Amino acid sequence: MSYDPLRASHPGTGLDYMPSYWTATAGVRPTDDGPLTGTTDVDVAIIGGGYTGLSCAYHLARHYGIRATVLEANRPGWGCSGRNGGFARAAIGRHSFGKMIERWGRQTARRVFGQALSAVDNVRSMIGEGGIGCDALEAGHLKIAHRPSRAAALAREAELLQREFEYPAEFLTGAKLRSEHIGGSQSHGALRFPDALAVHPLKLALGVLNMARAAGAKVHSASPVLSWRKNGHAHVLITPSATVRARTVVLATNGYTPEHLHDCIRATTLPMLSHIIVTRAMTAEEKVTTGFRTEHVLTDTRNLLYYWRRLPDDRILFGGRGQITESAAGQVAHRDFLLAELKAKLPALGAIRVDYDWWGWVCLTADFMPHVYHAADDTSTHYALGYQGSGVSYSLFAGKVLAARIANDASPDPIPATTTPLPRFPFAALRRVGQRAAYQWYRYSDNRG
């Protein structure tokens, strides 16, 4: 039976990593602390062993002397932390920068953008501190107009970033984009952000795992939380082979969040599938005819955006929104769909084939923003959720923010846009129905105008 976080009680117990290009190239896996057994008392229990949970555990132990215990259902980095495209870019939520100013005012919008840049810097710092060999490349980010009519908006966005945020964004004309970065039939101009890293996401996750354990945190695999109750001041978490009593609990499960775990997150998330293909390596002729010379990470101007990059071995990674629900036949069809969409962008790749494909659940919220906060009625229950499919940099930063909040450290400065309660979806039982309708509208609007 297919897995859907909206229905399932947990994502599995001790499952191996999904086969992908990343698992095939990650090298030797470091050890964790194995399944938790027996009854134990801890200061902080962290549910979820992805970027957020591992980063929180590391910062708690390393900077505050608080030894956390991470409870991971399967293996550290098993979810989207080990499956994403490896784009560590300046992204918080899905709102345009102009919309941020309209919604929160100039000063708050500047703080949001500053925190997005700080999140990228935090990735750099953690890679350096941990000596993480994750093939990190200072790549930059190009947001590409997939239709000629979308280029003018990118030029205005570049001007807004320069004027309002004093940020050296740059608009590239279609001619410059094609001559210096990438050719093809859908390269009509681009907004360039200098700040972005391209990384091997699973190597990054495993590197943070090593950092957390070296600092004194415990990371237990095959330990899904099956139930959670409060007994006085203690949280009682039940796993398949252990009972954990904790003074503080952190929810760091993002797209794999079970609805039943706690009332503070019920009806607040919309898990959505994202699907990635990786091709065989381009030939020398294909590299010339496509003009695919850039090392930047790439996204386009669709609502249902595509994201792609040239990998160090000249393969192409290409991803986008997946099916509504998991099914074997549907995933095969979607692999072929993504390959056709890649070829539509770069027609010279007519003979390219797919060597790897995989998928995973990302997490949207009702206001299209991540939230790093606590339960309304219990400040000992914390969460960081809702990275909107662009969470490589911000999830690691959110773990750092969570650690500071738990340790009563006033830095980093909280911003109201993210440090508020998760809003609930109206008509939450119909979230999948709404998703289907939204997909149909977005696909229509993405292909016109």
Asked if the model's pLDDT at residue 1 lies above 90, the reply is no
- Predicted confidence (pLDDT) per residue in 132-158, tens digit: 999 999 999 999 999 999 999 999 999
**Residues pairing with 277 in the sheet:** 318, 357
pLDDT score of 317 = 98
* Three-state SS at 256: helix
| Superfamily name and number for 138-196+272-365 | D-Amino Acid Oxidase, subunit A, domain 2 (3.30.9.10)
Kindly state the DSSP code that residue 422 receives in the 8-state scheme. Answer: P
379-409 core/surface letters (b: 16 or more CB in 10 A; e: else): ebbbbbbbbbbbbbbbbbbbbbbbbbbbeee
State the pTM of this model: 0.97
Question: Any idea where the domains of the chain sit in the sequence?
Answer: 21-84+202-268+366-438, 138-196+272-365
Question: For 383, phi and psi rounded to 5 degrees?
Answer: -155, 155
Pairwise CA distance, residues 42 & 350, whole Å: 56
Superfamily name and number for 21-84+202-268+366-438? FAD/NAD(P)-binding domain (3.50.50.60)
| Block residue for tokens 């960081």 | 384
Q: Is 181 exposed, middle or buried (0-12, 13-18, 19+ CB in 10 A)?
A: buried
Q: Retrieve residue 220's tokens.
A: 């237990």
Looking at residue 413, what is its pLDDT?
Answer: 72
Query: How many CA atoms within 13 Å lie on the side-chain side of 251?
Result: 30
260 token code pair = 């039943």
Residue 281 has pLDDT above 90, yes or no: yes
Residue 416 has a pLDDT of: 82
b/e burial code for range 146-168 (CB count within 10 A of at least 16 → b): beeebbeebbebbebbeebbebe
pLDDT digits (tens, 9 = 90+) for 36-85: 999 999 999 999 999 999 999 999 999 999 999 999 999 999 999 999 99
Whether pLDDT at 318 is above 60 = yes
- The two structure tokens encoding residue 14: 């001790």
